[in-house]
A and B are shown apart, each in its own frame.
Chain A
C-alpha cells in the first residue's frame, strides 16, 4: 500500500464505472492529478501499526434497533411522483432497458 498508486486510464475508467459517472475530457486530468495527490497523502495510514486492532465502523457499538413489523401509513404517491423526471400517475417511468424487437 505504501507504494504510489498510479491512476492510469484503466483505473480511471474502472472508478468511473463504479461511481456511475462519466468525466468530461476537461475533468479527467484534474481528477487524475487530485486523486493521485490525495491517495499519496492517505498512504500515510500504512505507517500505522494496526495489527489485531478491531475495526470501528461506527462511533458507538450499538446493536440494531428493531421495531415491530407493523404496516404504517406512508406518504402520498401523488406527492412523491411530483418530484420524478417522468411518471404516469402510478409509477416512475424509466428509459427502456430491454429491447422487445
Chain B
C-alpha cells in the first residue's frame, strides 16, 4: 500500500478495495516502526484521526463523493496551526502551545475528507535549509540517515520519502518546500504568493511565506493544491479568485512551449552531477516538444543578500509576538516584566532564530535602514522586474533547486553563511512571488536524489503542472 500514490489510494478507498481506517492504521504502524530512524514527526493525533476515518468511511459508504482525496492520510508541518493539536514550529519557545483554531488550509483538508495524522519536524520557525535546528533534533534523510533531509520542510519530505504518509503540507519562504523535495526525491509545489491562505500559518516572513503541497508525484500535489488554494476572507493577501483547476490532459506534447535555461546557474559552485541531471531533464522536456533557449539570469549575486535582509527584517517583527506571557515557553527566572520577556525569549529561541532576529533588528535600525532594508526593497523590485521581462519571452524557466545533494548532518551547521549560499536558486522566486514545482530527476554518485524546478509567472501553476506531469510520465 505504501507504494500507492495518494490518488491511487483514494481510488482504492472509493472502490472499497481498502477501508479508510485500514489504510490509516497501516500508515500509523509504518510511522511507529520507521520514524525512530528519521525523526520526521513531532506529534501524532491518532485518536482524532481514527474517529475522523470512521466518519469519512460512513460518508463514502453512503455514496457521498467528498473530494478526490477523501480518506487519504496527510501530515502537516508544525508551523501550521491545528486546533487541539500542539503546534510548536519545532521551537522550545512554543512548546506546549495548543492552538484554539485551525489554519484555513487545515479546515480545507478536513472538508475534503482527508485525515490529519500528525505534525512534522522542521527547522525552528522554518528558518533554515537542513531541518537540523529544531529543538527535538534533526530530521534524517531516508536515502542516507547520516545526511540532512533539507529544510525547512524536512520532516514533510522525509515522511513521504520513507512511505510514512502519502502527502504532506510544507511551507516555502525561500525554498523550504522545493529544497527538501530535491534532497529526499519527492515532489512539491511552491504556489504563487496569494494562491493559498496563510491564515493560521505562524509567520516567518509574511511577504514571502506560502503553504504548499508535497507528495510522491505532481498529480497528487496538484490535486492537493486544488483543495487548499482559493480566496479566504481571513487573509487579505490571498488574492486568487477561485481555487486552481487542473485539467486532465491526454496529450503529453509540450509543442509551442519555450523553456528558458539560465546558463549562469550552471557555472561555478554547482555539483557536476546536479548540473548533468537537470540539463538531462531539460532535454526530456525538449523531446516532448518544448523549445529550449539559454539566457543569462540577471542580478544573481544580489538574490541571497536581498532575501536575507528582507526575510530577517520581517522575522524580527513577526517574532516579537513571542513574549512568553500568552502562550509557549515562559521563564521561571524573573519577577519583573521586561526581564520576563527577555528571559522567556532568550530561553525559548535557538541560535539561528537569535541570529536572524538580531540581523533583522540591525537592518531596520536607525542609521542602517536606508543602506540595508530600503536598498533590499529596491533590489527586490529589480529582481521582480527581471522575472516579468523574462516571462514575456519564456513560458517557464528550468533551474536546479540546490547546488548540491543532501550533505551530512552537522556539516554546515556552524557556518550560517555557507548554509545561506545553498539557497541561491530558490530565494528569488519568493522575492518575486512566483510559483515553482520541484521534481526529482535522478541521483548522484552517492545514490542521493537530485531535483529540478520549473518556475513560471504568477498563477501559471496549470502550465507548470502540465509540463511537470509530462516529464514524470515520460520519465517513468
Contact = CB atoms under 8 A, between A and B. Distances in A.
Contact of A45 (B309, B341, B360): B309
Nearest to B98: A83
B320 A56 contact: no
Could you tell me the dominant secondary structure of chain B's interface residues?
A: helix
A45 B417 contact: no
Contacts of B236: 62, 64-65
Interface string A33-58: 01101110111111010100111111
A24 B394 CA distance: 51
Given A54-B381, A60-B458, A31 B239 contact: no
B12 interface: no
A50 B309 CA distance: 16
B23 to A, nearest CB: 32
Contact of A38 (B308, B326, B344, B376): B308
B362 interface: yes
Contacts of B121: none
Contacts of B301: 44
Interface stretch (B145-153, B350-358, B445-453): B350-358
A20 B302 contact: no
Contact of B382 (A53, A79, A92): A53
Contact of B239 (A24, A57, A62): A62
A23 B309 contact: no
A21 B433 contact: no
A1 B309 CA distance: 14
B327 interface: yes
A21 B345 contact: yes
Could you tell me the dominant secondary structure of chain A's interface residues?
A: loop
A18 B361 contact: yes
Contact of B354 (A23, A37, A59): A23
Given A57-B207, A59-B193, A96 B239 contact: no
Nearest to B340: A95
Interface in B96-151: 96-98, 100-101
A10 interface: no
A76 B98 CA distance: 13
Contact of B358 (A19, A37, A94): A19
Interface stretch (B27-35, B51-59, B270-278, B328-336): B328-336
Interface in A8-33: 14-16, 18-24, 27, 30-31
B97 A83 contact: yes
A83 B377 CA distance: 37
19 contacts: A15-B358, A16-B358, A18-B365, A31-B354, A34-B355, A37-B417, A38-B420, A41-B417, A42-B372, A43-B305, A45-B376, A59-B193, A62-B194, A62-B236, A62-B239, A67-B233, A83-B98, A83-B328, A95-B340
Interface of B: 96-98, 100-101, 193-194, 207, 233, 236-237, 239, 299, 301-302, 304-306, 308-309, 316, 320, 323-328, 330, 334-346, 349, 351, 354-355, 357-363, 365, 368, 371-372, 374-382, 384, 416-417, 420, 431-434, 458
Given A75-B100, A83-B326, 8 more contacts: A18-B316, A27-B354, A34-B355, A59-B458, A60-B239, A65-B236, A92-B325, A96-B335
